[in-house]
Each structure stands twice: as structure tokens, then as C-alpha cells.
Amino acid sequence: MKKLSFVFVLIWGFFGWPTLVEAAEAAKGPPVLTVIGAVSESNRSAFDAFDDAFLNFHGKEFEKAFVFDRAALEALSQVSVTARAEGWPKSVVAKGPLLKDLMDAAGVPPTAQIALMALDGYVAELESADRAGKEWVLAIEVDGKPLGVGGRGPAWLLHDTGDGAVTEEEEARWVWSVFLIEVKK
């Protein structure tokens, strides 16, 4: 049994750990998050007005995109953060992949500006300096429960506040119900 385990470790070590892209390319379920625009990686076909009816409704067309299903988001390294904004009754513990890891998987340069869109059409933009200044998390779970549509899901962008609380102005960049990230040059 020890020899078998040793051989497995050798094989695993030789072929290496899966990369972020490999984890996301394994997406087989329905897309939860689509990254469009200036992406260098693509794992889906170009925009189709009929098949992409909701994206079409929002006026979002693309030649290439990178999609994540729930399992692909879960396959990325998960980070937990404690977050609170002024006026909230309590802090929340949010868990999900770092925004940086998502952007790396889609081949988004760190210097790119991105716009995150919620299901209702709300958009918040993050410059590269904004992204570099904080460890942004695209949460898929809050307080131990998966986020779903109808609440703050499928994903919620936020960052750690520790024991403090952010202002309402900062909270406005904490987009919930994120389904689309558009990458601009």
C-alpha cells in the first residue's frame, strides 16, 4: 500500500497540480459567471443572440468568453472574509475564490479595467489600482450557505473589513447577483 501511495505521489508530482485554467475548463454545468471582452483564454463559443438571450437583453455581445459553472468556481482556491457595511445588522463571513484568480484563469491582464454586472443591470467598475489595493473575493457562500438567485447570488463581490465597516459609497462597489464581468483594455 505504501508503494502504491508513493507511486501516486510521484505521478502527481510529475504531471503537476492543475492550473486555474484547467480547473475552470472542467466546467460542465450551466454557466454561473461569464467573463467577456479582453480575455486571452476562452472556453465557449462566440455570442449567439438566440442562445444568449439574457446577455442579448443586456446588450452584451462578444467574440470569445470564459465561463465558470459553480463547480469551476468551487475548484479554485477558496478564501473566507469577514465583511460589514454601515447600516448592516451584523458582519457576514463570505467564502469564494479571489477575483484575481478568476481573472488569471480567463487570461485578464492585471492592468485591465473590469466592469461587474448584476442580474438587474447594476454595474460597478474596478480599475487595476482598485483591484490591486484589496483582496477582492467573488463569494459564492455566505455564513456557510450557498448564494442563490433571489438573494445575493449567484456571486457577490466584496472584500474583508475585519472588525470595521465600509461606507455606503464603498459598499456600492460590492456588486451582488454578479453574472457577468466585462474586461476593458
The tens digit of pLDDT for each residue in 118-170 reads 999 999 999 999 888 899 999 999 999 999 999 999 999 999 998 899 999 99
5 within a domain of the structure (yes/no): no
14 within a domain of the structure (yes/no): no
10 within a domain of the structure (yes/no): no
9 within a domain of the structure (yes/no): no
The tens digit of pLDDT for each residue in 62-75 reads 999 999 999 999 99
2 within a domain of the structure (yes/no): no
| CATH assignment at residue 132 | 3.90.420.10
166 within a domain of the structure (yes/no): yes
83 within a domain of the structure (yes/no): yes
Number of domains in the chain: 1
Look up the domain containing 49 and give its range: 19-184
What is the reported pLDDT for 5?
Answer: 41
DSSP string, the chain: -HHHHHHHHHHHHHH-PPPHHHHHHT--S--SEEEEES-S---B----TTTTHHHHHTT---S-EEEE-HHHHHHSPEEEEEE-BTT-SS-EEEEEEBHHHHHHHTT--TT-EEEEEETTS-EEEE-HHHHHHS--EEESEETTEE--TTTT-S-EEE---TTS-B-HHHHTT--BSEEEEEEE-
What is the reported pLDDT for 21?
Answer: 47
Q: What is the pTM of this model?
A: 0.85
